[in-house]
Amino acid sequence: MFYSNVENFKTTTGYEIDGIWYPRVTSIISIKAKPALYKYYADLPSFAAGEAIKNKSAEEGTLLHETVEAILKNEQPAIPDSVAPATAAFLDFKKQNEIIPQQIETRIVSKKHHYAGTMDCLAELNGQLGVLDIKTSYAIYRDYGIQTAAYVEALRENPSMPSLKRWILRLDQSRFCIRGCGSKMREKGGNIKIRPAKGVVASRCPHVWGELIGEVELRELPDIEKDISAFLAAKTLWEWEHDYWLRQILKPKQNSR
């Protein structure tokens, strides 16, 4: 990442809250290498193609996020066609589970460890309170544990906060082969990915894709203490990497008054 000056660094990687700058949770965790990403880029014609897919897919994810959060806020949002199947899957989930949101899209701050972030949702789910993070990915990745642990650790600074669970609610949509081979096709950011069913040789079935079907998966994340340690370790490494900029932020302003 290239930063043109300290202001650019501050706005790109953090938040200013009550006059104090804090690095953002998602910036901090970006220091962790993601080897699967190398393969993703390597399989595409160019880096720019990868970036275009990533950006378009992030846009689609944001749209689904906004729709679901509006539903959680009891607003009656217009449901865009492009995310209708996943939204329907979410509404189904909401019918089958008791979900009482307490905070949605809330800025959280750790004064103890000096970081900030935006949490999707603090909710009571089937009688238990916890951080609920909404993902629109193909799978639930271990990295999500580091992000949600950071939110829980910050929330714990409030002495009246009870002990918290962590959940990932993954929403997605894909198509299945109607010839019955069990293969699955998912289109994200204009990129088509086919996951053949186990034992199916891709070339043997001239797949015919059915309607878009929404998917919902809820998973509780275990081992919070381990994830908090990993997050704080990532933060130490992130600060090491950005020492040049951080020193300029911490330095007392010389020209003020």
Please, which residue, 34 or 179, has the CB nearer to Zn ion? 179
What residues numbered 195-214 form the site for Zn ion, per CB under 5 A?
205, 207
Q: At what angle do helices 243-250 and 224-241 cross, to 10 degrees?
A: 80
Which of 197, 237 has the CB closer to Zn ion?
197
Q: Is 183 in the site for Zn ion (CB under 5 A)?
A: yes
Is position 184 an interface residue for Zn ion (rule: CB under 5 A)?
Answer: no
- Give the dihedral sign, CA 219/221/67/186: negative
* 170, 137 contact by CB (below 8 A): yes
The CB-of-170 to Zn ion minimum distance in angstroms stands at 24
Min CB(195)–Zn ion separation in Å: 11
Is residue 103 within 8 A of residue 122, CB to CB? The reply is: yes
Rounded to a whole number of angstroms, the minimum distance from the CB of residue 204 to Zn ion is 8
Give per-residue burial for 62-95: e unless 16+ CB within 10 Å, then b. ebbbebbbebbeeeeeebeeebebbbbbbeebee
Binding window for Zn ion (CB under 5 A); candidates: 25-33, 85-93, 145-153, 176-184 = 176-184
Query: To the nearest whole angstrom, how small is the minimum distance from the Cβ of residue 197 to Zn ion?
Result: 8
Contact window for Zn ion (CB under 5 A) among 26-34, 80-88, 148-156, 172-180: 172-180
| Half-sphere CA count of 191, side-chain side, radius 13 A | 20
Asked if 179 is part of the footprint of Zn ion (rule: CB under 5 A), the reply reads yes
Quick one: which segment of 37-45, 149-157, 174-182, 245-253 binds Zn ion (CB under 5 A)? 174-182
Q: Angle 212-34-36 (CA atoms, 0-180°, nearest 5)?
A: 55
Judged by the rule CB under 5 A, the positions of this chain that interact with Zn ion are 177, 179, 181, 183, 205, 207
